[in-house]
């Protein structure tokens, strides 16, 4: 997933939309408008976010819903909602702490501070950096091709084990992993890989 624009990945919602709310019921309807973020997170296939420029607010929450994030050197991240008297409302308060830890996530959300690509790498928000937008696109495509060359069932089960297992205790997570591992033992992909090895 990447943005087509030059300025950035995504800066989230138009702040002017939040000036006047007709009612709590009308405000709740906005939830349907952001359901696509949860849909991205629930895809069985791995999703890579190639982030350049600004990645703020709801845009950052879109990136957090992706499985792997790569950033160009000019990327700027942040959840500035507290500056508007709001909180992240599309998964940021849940996904960021699970990714980088509660203390660091609270620091970023309570201050609303922006941070650059190097800091995003240090914190674990992104797993790779690219020196430029062009290199970012090349790295993202190369990574996607490398993952796509693997068994699609194995890739889907890795994602399922990690994502679903994160909400389980260790014993239940290991049981999930064993079940998924066992299911893969008889697949054609596994048989072909074993024969080629």
Q: Which residues are catalytic?
A: 61, 81
- 3-state SS track over 139-186: HHHHHHHHHHCCCHHHHHHHHHHHHHHCCCCHHHHHHHHHHHHHHHCC
* Orientation angle between helical segments 152-165 and 170-184, nearest 10 degrees: 170
What is the signed CA dihedral for 183, 188, 189, 192, rounded to 10 degrees? 130
C-alpha distances in Å from residue 29, one per residue of 21, 32, 33, 89, 94: 11, 6, 7, 13, 21
Tokens of 184: 């893969």
H or E, element range at 49: strand 48-51
């Amino acid at each position: 997933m990447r943005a087509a624009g030059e300025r950035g990945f995504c800066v989230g919602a138009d702040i002017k939309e939040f000036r006047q709310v007709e009612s709590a019921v009308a405000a709740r309807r906005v939830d349907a408008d952001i359901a696509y973020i949860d849909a991205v997170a629930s895809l069985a296939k791995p999703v890579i976010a190639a982030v350049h420029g600004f990645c703020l607010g709801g845009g950052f929450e879109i990136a957090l819903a992706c499985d792997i994030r790569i950033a160009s050197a000019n990327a700027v991240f942040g959840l500035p909602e507290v500056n508007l008297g709001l909180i992240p409302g599309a998964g940021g308060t849940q996904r960021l702490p699970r990714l980088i830890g509660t203390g660091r996530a609270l620091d970023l959300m309570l201050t609303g501070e922006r941070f650059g690509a190097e800091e995003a790498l240090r914190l674990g928000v992104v797993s790779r950096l690219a020196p430029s937008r062009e290199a970012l696109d090349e790295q993202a495509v190369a990574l996607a091709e490398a993952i796509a060359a693997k068994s699609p069932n194995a890739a889907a089960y890795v994602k399922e084990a990690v994502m679903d297992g994160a909400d389980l205790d260790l014993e239940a997570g290991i049981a999930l992993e064993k079940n998924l591992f066992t299911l893969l033992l008889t697949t054609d992909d596994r048989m072909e890989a074993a024969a080629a090895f």
